[in-house]
Amino acid sequence: MVKTVDEINQKIREGNTVVFTAQEFKKKIRDGEILTPEDVDVVTCGTCGVMSGTMAILSVTVAEPGAFRRADSISLNGVPAFPGPCPNEGLGLVDLVVYGTSHASSSYGGGNLFRDLADEKEIEVVAESGGKTFEATIYGDELPYAKMITSRSAFKNYSAFVNAFPDPVSTIFSVTPLSGGLSQATVSGCGEINPLQNDPEIRFLKSGAKVLLNGSDGIILGEGTRSSPDKPNLSVSADMKDMMPEFMGGFRTSAGPECITSIGAAIPVLDERSIHHLSVLDGNIPLPVVDVFDRKTLGFSDYGRIWQDTDHRIAANPMNCLFCGECPALMQCPTNAIMPGGGVISSRCVNCGTCLSSCPGEVYSMNTGSVFIDGKEIPVVLRQSDRNRGEKICSELKQRIEDSLFFIGGV
Ligand code: SF4
Ligand code: SF4
């Protein structure tokens, strides 16, 4: 049986599409079900994690028209942005670009700012022009223009990082300095639910195809920077006004703030080839283990060791809290998800695992898995991708398709 995208979109319009999330589809494969294109129309895939190549283009009203000629510099909550490219001469309005990796401090950066904009929190803007300072308070929902663009995101298969040298190293791939001697690994990538992993020939995830970016309807602009046939990634864009804060945020690494981004994509099931590609499982996806210094690949593990028979969510037992005074877990949590008082975690938690090693009271627990190279098992101390949120994006997209709110391709 062979279906067309138009036929599937017609079923979506009529409200009788069969949609599985990637996690539902994979479970059926693991259970030994033989699926055909007659059984399913669409599989929703997703990924959530630290994605450095995320930026926003905003248009911000700073002062009355005529107050200044053009902005020389501008910041939002202290995060520096680039005024322009349009000079907006004399309008009191500043078009700007802000990077998800720019930062105001070691704990607040563009990723935090993007989430605060989506949360409609108060944002302090400071612009300099001709030696004068102009200040304004803005809210994300009041911006006349706010678009997010990723220069590269949703890598099909990312890497695990280790430190082969003896001394610890601070890197964007670790929250606390990464111990040497191949004693710790950090890992990125959502494995079998990643959109590109399920469309390896890139039949559908092409320029113009619809996606969800942080929960907002967006489109694929094309391949991202450093995309290659072996390791493809996507450049995508969406309006920020409809973004859902839970899918985005800041993430503090030992080398500065980074940006959490989520992407969801719908893969239509047209034929047996689609079924074959969608049947990929974590254990079959190679995970290159890379030295964090020179990025040389030291060996290959697999995503099954990260996401199968492990925990996807952190658990907390406040009864174990030792009340250390200045809570080390709270201080080191890269998303500021730990509340004062010990063991209380907010929705900002991305299940990274940092609190496991920073808490002496064993308040937190989660099996984060390991990588295995050259007969050596190296424990994962940090996950920079959140499979739990990736699965939530899949569920969110499934619901929208079932509600006839999301169509396949560029429709
Ligand atoms: S580090 Fe752990 S034991 Fe110490 S105060 Fe924080 S939660 Fe409690
Ligand atoms: S797993 Fe722990 S350290 Fe990581 S975000 Fe959640 S609470 Fe913070």
| Dist. CA 358–CA 369, nearest whole Å | 18
Global pTM value? 0.95
Q: Could you report the per-residue pLDDT of 321-340, keeping only the tens digit for each? A: 999 988 999 999 999 999 98
Give the pLDDT of residue 335.
Answer: 95
- Say whether pLDDT at 92 is over 50: yes
Give the pLDDT of residue 74.
Answer: 98
Ligand 1 atom, smallest distance to 361 CA: 3
Rounded alpha-carbon distances, angstroms, from residue 112 to 21, 34, 76, 102, 208: 29, 44, 11, 10, 28
Taking the domains of the chain in order of start, what are their residue ranges? Answer: 54-149
| Dist. CA 299–CA 44, nearest whole Å | 31
Among 319, 331, 356, 363, the mutation site with the greatest number of ligand 1 atoms within 8 A of its Cβ is 363
Contact status, residue 125 vs residue 74, Cβ threshold 8 Å: yes
- Say whether pLDDT at 246 is over 60: yes
| Dist. CA 152–CA 145, nearest whole Å | 22
Give the pLDDT of residue 255.
Answer: 81
Ligand 2 atom 4: residue of nearest CA: 352
Ligand 2 centre distance from Cα of residue 336 (Å):
8
Ligand 2 atom, smallest distance to 353 CA: 1
Give the pLDDT of residue 325.
Answer: 85
Tokens of 306: 């990260």
- Say whether pLDDT at 106 is over 80: yes
- Say whether pLDDT at 91 is over 70: yes
Contact status, residue 348 vs residue 336, Cβ threshold 8 Å: yes
Written as one letter, the residue type at 344 is V
Average of pLDDT values for 292-306? 94
Give the pLDDT of residue 410.
Answer: 63
Ligand 2 centre distance from Cα of residue 381 (Å):
11
Give the pLDDT of residue 387.
Answer: 98
Ligand 1 atom, smallest distance to 329 CA: 1
Beta-bridge partners for 287: 301
Give the pLDDT of residue 392.
Answer: 98
- Say whether pLDDT at 58 is over 60: yes
Residues with CB under 6 Å of ligand 2 are 314, 333-335, 337-338, 345, 349-355, 364
Ligand 2 centre distance from Cα of residue 378 (Å):
20
Average of pLDDT values for 28-45? 97
Ligand 1 atom 6: residue of nearest CA: 327
DSSP character at residue 385: B
Q: Could you report the per-residue pLDDT of 142-197, keeping only the tens digit for each? A: 999 999 999 999 999 888 999 998 998 888 888 888 998 999 999 999 999 999 99
The residues, any chain, with a CB within 8 Å of residue 304's CB and separated by 6 or more, are 191, 281, 282, 283, 284, 285
Average of pLDDT values for 31-58? 96
Contact status, residue 8 vs residue 16, Cβ threshold 8 Å: no
Dihedral sign computed on CA atoms, order 189, 283, 230, 156: negative
Task: Concatenate the DSSP letters of all residues of 235-296 into one string.
Answer: EEEEESTT--GGG-EEEEETTEEEEEEEEEEEEE--SHHHHHHHT--GGGSEEEEEETTT--
- Say whether pLDDT at 22 is over 60: yes
- Three-state SS for 60-123 is EECCCCCCCCCCCEEEECCEEEEECCCCCCCCCEEEEEEECCCECCCCCEHHHHHHHHHCCCEE
- Say whether pLDDT at 411 is over 90: no
| Dist. CA 268–CA 314, nearest whole Å | 33
What's the burial of 362, exposed, middle or buried (CB within 10 Å: 0-12/13-18/19+)? exposed
| Dist. CA 389–CA 406, nearest whole Å | 20
Ligand 2 centre distance from Cα of residue 105 (Å):
20
Among 351, 383, 386, the mutation site with the greatest number of ligand 2 atoms within 8 A of its Cβ is 351
Ligand 2 atom 8: residue of nearest CA: 333
Q: Could you report the per-residue pLDDT of 359-371, keeping only the tens digit for each? A: 999 999 999 999 9
Q: What mean pLDDT, rounded, does the chain reach?
A: 94
- Residue 113 pLDDT class (50, 70, 90 cuts): very high
Contact status, residue 178 vs residue 157, Cβ threshold 8 Å: no
